[in-house]
């Protein structure tokens, strides 16, 4: 059991390298202390300041008195029949978020949350039903990776991180970017920028800012080929319609010519899964280097939709594949512990009564193309 957070102490998990350098300079120390601390925390797994032997005795004493290294606490741990692992992590204020590890033969992917709940109200997503509570801090975001790697031990390494858990990462920009910088820092986790992916539903101004400030892989939750349908499935489209979203995607790849955008497309029976829509998707993305990730819908209580049939998904995939677009169908993982895509709901009370609103909306007709 982890000790409660001492709110009078500074949690060093909350700093990326630049932040740590500023912290130590303010103390009158040299900036290289930041590198030493990063290596102790993330490479040596040392949390006792007294064991950080390359720090001066006076600095170790100061850190002991004024700082702490406090990751989130595991509230519930589950393992699915396919090896997927999910942790409900409790933050110091009592909020919980969910983090999922997906093992594969040649890699291990951690799905990380960025917010408690989500404000975007995508109608096919279970997390959307609970409403929005708050942003996670940098310490709470990187803490998910810290806890997961400790739990996995030396038997499994986390090789990829996807910011695809609870919340919209780009609405928590500063904390998410600081955490991703730690993930990629050679003195911390040292992950390749191609192995750190941020997923967005289309917060266009933040997409442009991300392109300028942090070179990571970008995934975009698309799910529809016109504004009429996307306004319903992904309501932020009403603020940033497809034309603006795709312009931001083009800007992203133009700044890194070898990059392509991964587009995510949830397969909803009778809504967005026809051959005609697959052809429209090709036209929509014709000038954007793209990979397509088709996601079979995971039903949840009061959900408005059903998953497309395997035959419909295969027809849709074939249209894209035959046109030369790299297309994968996401394999459903961790379904027996509610860890599959779109199923992360945590333990947060719904303060927005969104579940009621979605249930009432189920009687409405959802237009299709």
Q: What is the pLDDT of residues 311-326, one digit of tens each?
A: 999 999 999 999 999 9
Which pLDDT belongs to residue 128? 73
Mean pLDDT of 34-57: 96
Among 93, 125, 138, CA closest to 358: 125
CB 136 within 8 A of CB 116: yes
pLDDT band at 369; cut points 50, 70, 90: very low
Q: Residue 53: is its pLDDT beyond 90?
A: yes
Give percent above pLDDT 70 in the chain.
88
Q: Give 164-203 pLDDT, tens digit per residue.
A: 999 999 999 999 999 999 999 999 999 999 999 999 999 9
Which pLDDT belongs to residue 66? 97
Q: Give 19-40 pLDDT, tens digit per residue.
A: 999 999 999 999 999 999 999 9
Which pLDDT belongs to residue 341? 53
Token pair for residue 149? 């790697």
DSSP characters over 1-39 = -PPPP-TTSEEGGG--HHHHHHHHHHTT--TTHHHHHHI
Say whether 98 is catalytic: yes
Domains detected in the chain: 10-68 (1.10.150.530), 91-361 (3.20.20.70)
Q: Give 278-311 pLDDT, tens digit per residue.
A: 999 999 999 999 999 999 998 877 788 999 999 9
Write the CA distances from 312 to 32, 278, 280, integer angstroms: 56, 11, 16
Say whether 125 is catalytic: no
Catalytically annotated residue among 98, 168, 264, 277? 98
CB 189 within 8 A of CB 42: yes
Query: What is the chain's length?
Result: 369
**How far is it, in rounded angstroms, from Cα 300 to Cα 347?**
15
């Amino acid at each position: 059991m982890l000790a409660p957070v001492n709110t009078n102490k500074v949690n060093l998990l909350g700093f990326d390298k630049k932040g740590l350098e500023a912290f130590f300079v303010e103390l009158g120390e040299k900036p290289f202390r930041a590198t030493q601390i990063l290596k102790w925390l993330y490479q040596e797994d040392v949390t006792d300041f007294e064991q950080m032997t390359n720090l001066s005795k006076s600095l170790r004493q100061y850190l002991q008195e004024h700082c702490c290294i406090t990751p989130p606490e595991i509230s519930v741990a589950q393992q699915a029949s396919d090896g997927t692992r999910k942790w409900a992590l409790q933050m110091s204020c009592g909020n919980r978020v969910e983090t999922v590890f997906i093992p594969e033969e040649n890699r291990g992917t951690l799905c990380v949350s960025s917010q408690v709940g989500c404000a975007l109200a995508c109608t096919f997503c279970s997390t959307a039903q609970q409403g929005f509570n708050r942003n996670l801090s940098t310490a709470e975001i990187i803490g998910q990776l810290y806890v997961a790697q400790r739990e996995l031990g030396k038997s499994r390494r986390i090789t990829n991180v996807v910011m695809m858990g609870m919340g919209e990462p780009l609405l928590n920009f500063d904390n998410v970017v600081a955490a991703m910088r730690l993930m990629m820092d050679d003195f911390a986790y040292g992950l390749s920028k191609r192995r750190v992916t941020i997923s967005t539903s289309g917060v266009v101004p933040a997409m442009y800012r991300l392109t300028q400030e942090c070179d990571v892989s970008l995934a975009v939750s698309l799910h529809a080929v016109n504004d009429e349908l996307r306004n319903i499935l992904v309501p932020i489209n009403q603020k940033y319609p497809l034309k603006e979203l795709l312009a931001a995607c083009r800007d992203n790849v133009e700044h890194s010519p070898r990059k392509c955008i991964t587009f995510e497309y949830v397969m909803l029976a009778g809504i967005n899964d026809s051959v005609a829509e697959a052809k429209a998707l090709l036209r929509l993305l014709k000038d954007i280097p793209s990979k397509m990730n088709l996601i079979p819908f995971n039903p949840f209580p009061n959900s408005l939709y059903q998953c497309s049939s395997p035959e419909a998904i295969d027809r849709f995939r074939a249209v894209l594949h035959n046109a030369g677009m790299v297309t994968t169908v996401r394999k459903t993982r961790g379904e027996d512990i509610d860890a599959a895509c779109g199923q992360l709901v945590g333990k947060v009370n719904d303060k927005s009564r969104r579940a009621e609103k979605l249930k009432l909306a189920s009687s409405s007709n959802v237009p299709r193309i």
